[in-house]
């Protein structure tokens, strides 16, 4: 059986040690080991080790290294169990060790999916414009159970959702100001839905917001869209030109009266 001949501190870490062994042919490097494992297995000069002990020590050290990796990963922000599992898997950690590390982290309360989910919801609510549906999907992707997701989303009250949706509508007015009234509202509704807001929240937000265009804003939007269409169909004349213009602008959400007003203005130029 090999005998421990020397133990030295590793240069880059004061908590890890190099263990040297003699298999009967002289001293040689045996393995690196964490300080906790060194103490647990009473490693010291002159100690004999059998093959089973060597395997056990190596396994314990691998587990300790994985645990330290997880602790460092958790030091930046809270994580879900699945995030830690996936991170350790990418580091090519043995699946059994991963499960043992996660169990230890849970028992030490470094991992708690319920607390993580609540904190995640509050962070998204206070720092982003995401609605509950998007937050729910993101929590699902992080491996949070449906029951915990349902509970955590209670942290995002409807009134807060409406207020955030109203702010989004106000912001989107500028983005879609060159569209017709109809198209502008459709685009804003789509944007809010993509952001994760329910139909009822979207409708309530619109009721609290004035999205009606002033007459000059409506005319400006009509001119902008009308000239784009005009440039496309300027090669046509007469009835064919009129029909193509009317059809295109109608699809863009302008009324017949608005379209006729624009066409009249074109003819006057």
Domain ranges of the chain: 1-49, 113-155, 158-207, 215-268
pLDDT at 268: 67
| Pure H helices in the chain | 35-40, 51-74, 81-90, 95-107, 113-127, 132-141, 146-152, 158-175, 181-194, 199-207, 215-233, 238-251, 256-268
The structure's pTM equals 0.82
Q: Which CATH code fits 158-207?
A: 1.10.10.10
Count CB neighbours of 214 within 10 A. 8
Distance CA 67, CA 104 (A): 8
What is the per-residue pLDDT across 181-226, written as a single tens digit (0 to 9) for each? 999 999 999 999 999 999 999 999 999 999 888 899 999 999 999 9
CATH 1.10.150 fits 215-268, yes or no: no
Tokens 């009250």, located at residue: 157
Q: Which CATH code fits 113-155?
A: 1.10.10.10
Burial class of residue 121 (count of CB atoms within 10 Å of its CB; 0-12, 13-18, 19+): buried
Least confident of 13-17, 54-58, 93-97: 13-17
Distance CA 23, CA 99 (A): 34
Does residue 106 surpass a pLDDT of 80? yes
Of residues 228, 250, 232, 229, the one with CA closest to residue 180: 250
Does residue 23 surpass a pLDDT of 80? yes
């Amino acid at each position: 059986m090999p005998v421990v001949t020397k133990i030295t501190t590793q240069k880059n870490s004061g908590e890890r040690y190099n263990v040297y062994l003699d298999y009967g042919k002289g001293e040689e490097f045996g393995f690196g080991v964490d300080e906790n494992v060194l103490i647990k297995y009473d490693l010291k000069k002159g100690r004999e080790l059998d093959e089973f002990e060597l395997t056990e020590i190596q396994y314990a050290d691998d587990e300790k290294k994985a645990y330290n990796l997880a602790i460092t990963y958790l030091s930046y922000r809270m994580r879900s169990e699945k995030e830690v599992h996936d991170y350790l898997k990418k580091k090519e950690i043995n699946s059994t060790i991963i499960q043992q590390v996660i169990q230890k982290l849970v028992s030490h309360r470094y991992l708690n999916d319920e607390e993580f989910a609540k904190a995640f919801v509050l962070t998204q609510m206070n720092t982003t414009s995401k609605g509950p549906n998007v937050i729910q999907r993101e929590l699902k992707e992080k491996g949070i159970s449906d029951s915990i997701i349902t509970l955590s989303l209670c942290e995002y009250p409807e009134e807060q959702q409406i207020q955030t949706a109203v702010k989004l509508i106000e912001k989107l007015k500028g983005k879609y100001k060159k569209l017709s009234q109809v198209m502008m509202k459709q685009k804003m509704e789509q944007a809010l839905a993509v952001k994760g807001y329910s139909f009822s929240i979207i409708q309530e937000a619109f009721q609290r917001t004035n999205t009606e265009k002033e007459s000059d804003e409506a005319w400006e939007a009509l001119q902008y869209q009308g000239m784009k269409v005009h440039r496309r169909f300027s090669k046509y004349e007469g009835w064919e030109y009129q029909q193509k213009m009317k059809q295109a602008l109608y699809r863009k959400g302008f009324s017949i009266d608005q379209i006729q007003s624009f066409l009249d203005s074109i003819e006057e130029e």
